């Protein structure tokens, strides 16, 4: 059997191309099979080459596409729904940057010091608020690390980092509610004395591979008023360490003159879930611009002169009583239900640039309107805040209505769609046990990029 392949006679009425294949019976003694292969390859090698190249690129495309899909959906592997997973995976790629490595964080190990109860547990026992208020990241991170067997090590000799669990924010406020952190420096100093006397690990690096949490206004400066915080500065013994802090700005500041990671303030995940469960399924966001919190009516008293740099007072004077602005100075038990009803949630600075409203509004689907010049937002390396929030300069608060109206008329729906991403919400909440992609997980991701501080690894490399 042989193949006689001829080009078809051109047909002017039909512009189709192809090949006509005629099959002919040949004599068995003829060596036509070999001749056929040579003739066929000589005349049609370009078509054969084209076919195999096309096949290669076709299979490579689908192999690469499959691996990308796995990476994209990994962050929501514990948050699947029956029908929404594909659409979520497409949306999530816009506002969340996936770390290049897996949850083992390049084999990183952390040793958590077992400190006497006076440094941590006793504070939680004395007050339930200690583990649930906006500064409670220090408690949540400690508990989450103890729950993660992949990163936690019980052998300090194999640790890359050492976590020092001291709770200084539990006793943050005085009886009259005015912030006070006068006890913080002495408490942490005492803890450092304890570990340096009981273990060899602090002394060998002067604490450069040790991690602290400073989850209050101006981080490790330990004061709620900026001028006093700057004057006090970061304690000398902490300046070589890594600070996990809610305070962060994108300019030089004495209160971040140490290696640090900017983290979210603490919002209890269960409170977010309760508020969501209470809201009706067909709820409508009937509040256009929302703020509830401390606003000074009289800017002449001490709080009015310093608090929020006058921004909240300016907002109240300009928009208080306006129909489209829901502004209130008093506490309300249904505060988070109000956020669920709101389109824009104002997040002006308080004593410090950051606010728990950043997290509360974002995870409840209200567009955060950040009013704090120079603020550095949590996990800015992996969370694309410009796609899920608005930033308004402090000097522009008097034009706030026009700014929000412009966004409403242009890209509001895009921002709201980005806010619905499960991966973004998870990145701002602390869970115990830790979940892939949550706030503690992202802290570990940030620490894994600082492994050059690991004494253990530097010793291995030097050998």
Give 109-141 pLDDT, tens digit per residue.
999 999 999 999 998 998 888 899 999 999 999
pLDDT grade for 151, boundaries at 50, 70 and 90: very high
Distance (Å) of CA 289 to CA 128, 168, 206, 366, 391: 32, 35, 49, 10, 14
Domain chopping of the chain, boundaries: 104-265+440-462, 269-429
Average pLDDT in the 70-83 region?
Answer: 30
pLDDT tens for residues 48-58?
555 555 554 44
Average pLDDT in the 440-456 region?
Answer: 96
Distance (Å) of CA 163 to CA 66, 236, 452: 38, 18, 17
Average pLDDT in the 237-257 region?
Answer: 97
Tell me what the pLDDT averaged over the chain comes to.
81
Which residue reads 């006093």 in tokens?
228
**pLDDT at residue 377 tops 80:** yes
pLDDT tens for residues 357-371?
999 999 999 999 999
Kindly report which listed range (58-72, 202-216, 377-391) carries the lowest average pLDDT score: 58-72
Task: Give burial (CB, 10 Å; 0-12/13-18/19+) of 93.
Answer: middle
State if pTM tops 0.75: yes
pLDDT grade for 463, boundaries at 50, 70 and 90: low
Average pLDDT in the 211-220 region?
Answer: 95
Confidence at residue 187, expressed as pLDDT on a 0 to 100 scale: 94
Distance (Å) of CA 392 to CA 261, 269, 314, 408: 24, 28, 14, 15
Average pLDDT in the 399-419 region?
Answer: 96
What residues have CB less than 8 Å from 228, skipping those under 6 apart? none
Q: Distance between CA 459 and CA 127 in Å, rounded?
A: 43
Torsion of CA 227, 228, 234, 235, to 10 degrees: 160
pLDDT above 70: percentage of residues in the chain: 74
Residue 196 tokens read as 């340096």
pLDDT grade for 70, boundaries at 50, 70 and 90: very low
Task: Give burial (CB, 10 Å; 0-12/13-18/19+) of 416.
Answer: middle
The answer as to CATH 3.90.1070 being correct for domain 269-429 is no
Q: Which residue has the higher pLDDT, 125 or 44?
A: 125
């Amino acid at each position: 059997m042989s193949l006689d392949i001829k080009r078809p006679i051109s047909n002017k009425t039909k512009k189709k191309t192809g090949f006509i294949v005629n099959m002919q019976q040949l004599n068995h003694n003829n060596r036509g099979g070999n001749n056929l292969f040579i003739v066929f390859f000589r005349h049609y090698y370009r078509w054969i080459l084209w076919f195999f190249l096309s096949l290669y690129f076709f299979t490579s495309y689908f192999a690469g596409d499959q691996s990308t899909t796995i990476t994209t959906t990994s962050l929501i592997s514990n948050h699947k729904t029956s029908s929404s997973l594909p659409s979520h995976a497409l949306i999530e790629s816009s506002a969340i940057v996936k770390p290049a490595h897996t949850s083992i964080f390049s084999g990183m190990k952390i040793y958590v010091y077992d400190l006497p109860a006076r440094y941590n547990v006793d504070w939680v026992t004395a007050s339930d608020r200690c583990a649930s208020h906006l500064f409670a990241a220090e408690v949540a991170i400690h508990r989450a690390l103890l729950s993660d067997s992949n990163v936690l090590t019980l052998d300090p000799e194999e640790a890359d980092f050492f976590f020092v669990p001291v709770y200084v924010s539990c006793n943050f406020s005085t009886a009259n509610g005015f912030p006070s952190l006068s006890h913080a420096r002495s408490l942490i100093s005492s803890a450092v004395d304890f570990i340096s006397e009981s273990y060899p690990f602090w002394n060998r690096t002067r604490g450069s591979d040790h991690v602290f949490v400073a989850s209050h206004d101006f981080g490790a400066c330990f004061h709620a008023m900026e001028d006093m915080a700057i004057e006090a500065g970061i304690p000398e013994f902490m300046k070589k360490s890594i600070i996990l802090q809610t305070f962060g700005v994108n300019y030089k500041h004495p209160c971040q003159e140490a290696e640090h990671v900017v983290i979210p303030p603490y919002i209890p995940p269960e409170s977010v879930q309760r508020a969501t469960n209470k809201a009706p399924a067909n709820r409508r966001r009937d509040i256009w611009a929302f703020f509830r919190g401390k606003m000074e009516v009289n800017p002449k008293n001490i709080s009015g002169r310093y608090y929020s740099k006058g921004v909240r007072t300016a907002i109240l004077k300009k928009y208080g009583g306006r129909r489209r602005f829901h502004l209130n100075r008093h506490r309300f038990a249904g505060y988070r239900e109000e956020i669920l009803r709101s389109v824009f949630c104002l997040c002006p600075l308080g004593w410090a640039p950051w606010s728990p409203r950043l997290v509360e509004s974002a995870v409840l689907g209200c567009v955060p309107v950040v009013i704090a010049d120079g603020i550095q937002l949590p996990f800015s390396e992996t969370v694309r805040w410009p796609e899920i929030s608005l930033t308004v300069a402090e000097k522009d608060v008097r034009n706030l209505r026009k700014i929000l109206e412009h966004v409403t008329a242009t890209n509001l729906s895009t921002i709201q769609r980005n806010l619905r991403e499960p991966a973004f919400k998870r990145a701002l909440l602390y869970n115990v046990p830790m979940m892939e992609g949550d706030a503690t997980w992202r802290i570990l991701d940030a620490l894994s990029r600082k492994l050059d501080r690991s004494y253990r690894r530097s010793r291995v490399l030097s050998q």
